[in-house]
Structure 1
């Protein structure tokens, strides 16, 4: 078992991992006074093809973290959908309240002429003074 482990470790150490890089240097017009170091535009490691111990585990750990973040985002999306539904129901409730207020306003304005008629009916008649009455 130990020989197998040592031979596997030796084979991993003998073969370098596959790494693809592209290096772009600064343009020749850049000032010579600044530290002109090459700019690495991208480093891509083929994690699936390399057999470095621990790299695949880290890769799967990152996948797990990303899927966890994705499920959290989906949960947030569902919560936002619930908030949107709640806001829509609040809008519906406000529309119902507005309609009820309009109905109350209609009833109040409908009662106003009746109240004026009632006031006229209950007020004592002003038929003039005693001297204005016709003689018998």
Structure 2
């Protein structure tokens, strides 16, 4: 069965040679890791798109390519059976690009690790 890529507006950064189904989700999350100066940071953001391999979101904090980031994505109550659960996943920055008309923001494309954790928020 051939995989089909779903077009998501604003997801041009995620274009690759292999078709991957990508979902546009706006879920609140916290991003943490090291910034471009090597200092630890923690910033609230919103997930823009996610697939089995990549996620994209906007950040004010500048990060370098290959930086390791941790995402803590709050799961909606319907998905979490009413529990305060979060998806915790790590990955490396694949690319960043400016956001037109918003010079303080950068769109970040994160390559996701294959391991993840679902548990209490802020796990």
TM bin, normalised by shorter chain, reads under 0.3
Higher strand share: 2
Question: Could you say which structure has the greater relative contact order, defined with CA pairs below 8 angstroms and 6 or more residues apart?
Answer: 2
Higher helix share: 1
Larger Rg: 1
The TM-score, its normalising length taken from structure 1, stands at 0.17
